[in-house]
Structure formats: structure tokens, C-alpha cells
Structure 1
């Protein structure tokens, strides 16, 4: 139990801890195989379609000691760590990939995953430096999102392009001043970036003025609230003639929570994709919706 709570040991042994009936049910539906299930009441596991596994009925007080929440739900499973390619998305997918850059707050990362799944995004990519995908707090705030779409974790920026293909790149960026861009995945300000001026070459427009529906596929890059976007994110957008999208705010508000900002932008993208009229004569170059 102690080893699966440690990121290093989780990676080494290939097991994760899931707490709560709903989260365990979501993992089972995705084909995740539990090795051990601990419960305090028979009703806690009744109805769960458990494959052949080791079941242990133990006192609720013991489960509470292992739990990461104030009031445990009374059931914990230790499961084999699923690979991203083993997770199948349900329903139709938007041609949209979310890239998380420097997202280090577990509640924010869980909210991002939940929003991405709810909108029907194709996949999520977590670059090196992001919060651990399988951290208990991320699992709880994700509310089962981990098991409903492909999520690539610990991806180096050199490998991001291979996953994204030829998608059009948008950066969610409300930092419209001249301050330095965020930190690299090492956590240090990258003043030696290959193209330190990349940020200034990427145009800035309100999120609702971009014609997303004109693109074959879109990538939206999100930075963490504390560190923002890294130089690598700006370089990626500059190299693909992408755009920085911002959310105009009123009453002196500087920015929104990362998960909230994602919801605002991604559902505008979804609206456009669902209402678009295909036009094979159009190219995939950047355009705005207004003249």
C-alpha cells in the first residue's frame, strides 16, 4: 500500500491505487485489471464486475488509515497501471488535442482532464514537468476521466510533434505583456531557448475570433497558473504559424483558473466543429471568423 502511493514505486512496480466505488467501476469498464481489492462491507463491492482478483474484507478503520480523504468510501483497489494506447475513447471525437505544459497543481490537472473528456477531445498530452497523472488528488478531481480517453504522460517537447502530426497550434495565453515567458520543464527560466523571440512572433487574438472549424485538427496548449507556458510551447506555435488565444475579461480580472479557461475555449471550438460546413477548397492556414 505504501509503495503504490509513491510515484517512484508506482512507476517501478506498474501499479496504481484507486479509491472509491465509482472510480473503480470506471477503471473496470476501461479494462483495467485489479490485483487486490480491499473493502469493509460486502455492499461496497456488490455489483462491481470484478474479474478474478484477490478480495480482502478488513475493518473500516484500517481502510481509513490508508485513505487519502477525510471520510473513506470503504473500498480500495490496487490495479495494473494502464497504458495510454489501451484506453479507448467512447463516442465521436473532436479533432482536438490538449497539451498541458507546466501544469503542476493536481486539482487543475484533474479539472483539465474532466473538461477534455466532457468536450470529447481526442487526447491529452502531458509534457515533462506536469503533475503526476496517477496522483490520488488528480484521480479524484478527474472523476474517471483517466479511463475515458488517451493520455500521454511525461512527453519531452522533442517528442510532442510526433504525437500532434500536422495539427494547427493554439496557445491559451492571457499573458499579453512583455514579461518573459514561463519556465522550461526543468523548472528554470530558459534564457537560452533556441528562439527567445518566438513568443513575440505568434499573433494574439480573442479565442472567439479564430476559425477553428477551418482546420483539419487543432492543438490547444495550456500552461500552469504559476509558471505559464514554456519557451518550447511558443517555439512550437511559431514554427507552425499558430496563434495565441486569450479570453477578454472584465472588472480588472487578470486571469481565470486553468480548468475554467479550458472550458471556455474548448466549448467554443466544439461549437464551431459541430456547426461547420466542409469546404474542400479551403486550406488550413490561420484565419479569423470576423472580417
Structure 2
């Protein structure tokens, strides 16, 4: 059992928690909590750390996790686990997970793709919620540009509620080039925009389609919106100008899902 916060493994966990560069160098991220531990595919599990209290209270789950991970489990003293945890009330289990890898070609293929293309989404909670919502609405893939928040930051991972393991996603260095590739695959793109010419519910989303969603404060860049096949809007009442980007993603994704279920 590790009892010191000066332990080398503990120091590494802190680096993986705090620094994107460290996560990228190792190609891993941290997934904390019982639900995330259970939902992590065995093939992606690299290491599992549990608190002393967790081991005593969750013997069956701890044994199951140990059987799923080739490296077994490492036990941390409760105060050490609290030190490495990213939550106010630690559940007592933390996994080091290999990052899933998907390709753009994987996302655009299929009988009738439905995509989300994200530009400059800054809030980790928004980004994680968008992935979770996308899975629930039947979205087939998500594209993120380099300006988006780190998908593998602890807060973002928690917000996905496991969708990060089930929904294909690709971070692209050149969003413009990716948009051209998506359109070349026969997918019609709609830009969510305040200056949209038609309400979203007057469009046909039963064919291959994708929604372009932009930064929380500024929306889509004009050059990005110009690449869309059409600009659509979500009509507002009262004095509200627009919706949170996560809510907008939900409205559009579930409308596409509704149309496809008719």
C-alpha cells in the first residue's frame, strides 16, 4: 500500500491529472469513480488505484476490476487517494486509461451519418455534456477542432458519463479541411447561427447531415459558417438571444433523431 504523497507513482498521477502535455506524451487519461471504472473497456485499462476504504467496502468490485486489468490494482492510503483525486468527495477508485483512437473515415461512413462538428468549445463541462447528449440522440460521430477544451481533462471525462468510450470522435488540426472531407462524403452540413435563414425544425435531417456548433461566447467563425450548406437558427422568445451550446447541440441532435424515427 502506498502511504506517502511523495511516492513516484503518486507524483505521476498528479501530473496526469493537471497537465495535458503529460497525458498526451503517455497517450492516457484518468477516469475516476466506480461508474467510469466499470464502463472502461478492459482493453483500455492500464492501471487501477483504489483507496484503502474502497477495498474494504467494495471487495467484489475491487476483485472484478483487478481481474480486468493486467497490472492488477494498487492500494492507496485514504489521505493519499484524496490527494490524487479530482473530486471533492472521492469514490475511492481511479483508472489510468489508454486514449481511444478513431479516424475521420470511420465517422463519415455508414448508412446515414449524423455528426456534430465543434469549433472552439471552451468549457470542459459543456464538451463532456455534448458527447453524452450526442450518444443519447444517436449521433454517429463528433469532430473537434484544436481550439476545443481538452476532452481528456478529468472534468470533461466525468461529464461524458462513459460516452467517451462509446461515441467515435476525432480531434482535427484543420477544421476547414475536415469540413471539406465531410461534405465530399455526401453529408449536408448545417451551421447553428443567430443569422440562420430558417428555423431548425423546417429542415430535413433524415439524410446524412451534420451540425456545426461554435464557441460559447462568439459562436462559429464567419469563415467556418460560410462552409455550411445552410444556416439554421433555434427561435428564441423573451429577451434570450441564444442557448448554451450544450443545450443547442441537444435540441438539434434530438430533432434529427425525431425525424429519423418517423
- The bucket for the TM-score relative to the shorter chain is 0.7 to 0.9
> What is the aligned partner in structure 1 of residue 171 from structure 2?
153
1:4 matched to 2:16? The reply is yes
Secondary structure of the 2:88 match is coil
> What is the aligned partner in structure 1 of residue 3 from structure 2?
none
> What is the aligned partner in structure 1 of residue 94 from structure 2?
76
> What is the aligned partner in structure 1 of residue 73 from structure 2?
55
Cα contact 1:21–1:45 (8 A) shared by 2 = no
Q: Which residue of 198, 203, 228 corresponds with 2:219? A: 228
Cα contact 1:128–1:154 (8 A) shared by 2 = yes
More moved, 159-168 vs 203-212: 159-168
Give me the whole-angstrom Cα distance separating, in 2, the residues matched to 1:128 and 1:136. 18
Secondary structure of the 1:47 match is helix
Bigger proportion of residues as helix: 2
Give me the whole-angstrom Cα distance separating, in 2, the residues matched to 1:66 and 1:226. 33
> What is the aligned partner in structure 2 of residue 172 from structure 1?
192
Structure 1 residues 211-226: aligned runs within 5 Å: 211-213=204-206, 215=207, 217-226=208-217
Q: Which residue of 234, 240, 245 corresponds with 1:247? A: 234
Q: Which runs of 5+ in 2 are unaligned?
A: 1-12
Secondary structure of the 2:113 match is strand
Give me the whole-angstrom Cα distance separating, in 2, the residues matched to 1:210 and 1:121. 17
Give me the whole-angstrom Cα distance separating, in 2, the residues matched to 1:108 and 1:226. 13
Q: Which runs of 5+ in 1 are unaligned?
A: 177-202, 276-291
Give me the whole-angstrom Cα distance separating, in 1, the residues matched to 2:217 and 2:200. 21
- Structure 1 residues 79 and 145: CA distance shift in structure 2, 3 A: same
Give me the whole-angstrom Cα distance separating, in 2, the residues matched to 1:236 and 1:166. 14
Root mean square deviation of aligned Cα: 2.2
Cα contact 1:35–1:80 (8 A) shared by 2 = no
> What is the aligned partner in structure 2 of residue 45 from structure 1?
62
Cα contact 1:129–1:154 (8 A) shared by 2 = no
- Structure 1 residues 21 and 100: CA distance shift in structure 2, 3 A: same
TM-score (norm 1): 0.75
- Structure 1 residues 7 and 222: CA distance shift in structure 2, 3 A: same
> What is the aligned partner in structure 1 of residue 37 from structure 2?
24
Give me the whole-angstrom Cα distance separating, in 2, the residues matched to 1:253 and 1:142. 27
Moved over 6 A (4+): none
Q: Which residue of 28, 31, 46 corresponds with 1:34? A: 46
Structure 1 residues 181-192: aligned runs within 5 Å: none
More moved, 141-150 vs 50-59: 50-59
Q: CA deviation at 1:94?
A: 5.9
1:162 matched to 2:181? The reply is yes
1:134 matched to 2:152? The reply is yes
Cα contact 1:17–1:79 (8 A) shared by 2 = yes
1:261 matched to 2:248? The reply is yes
Q: CA deviation at 1:93?
A: 8.4
Secondary structure of the 1:138 match is helix
More moved, 31-40 vs 265-274: 31-40
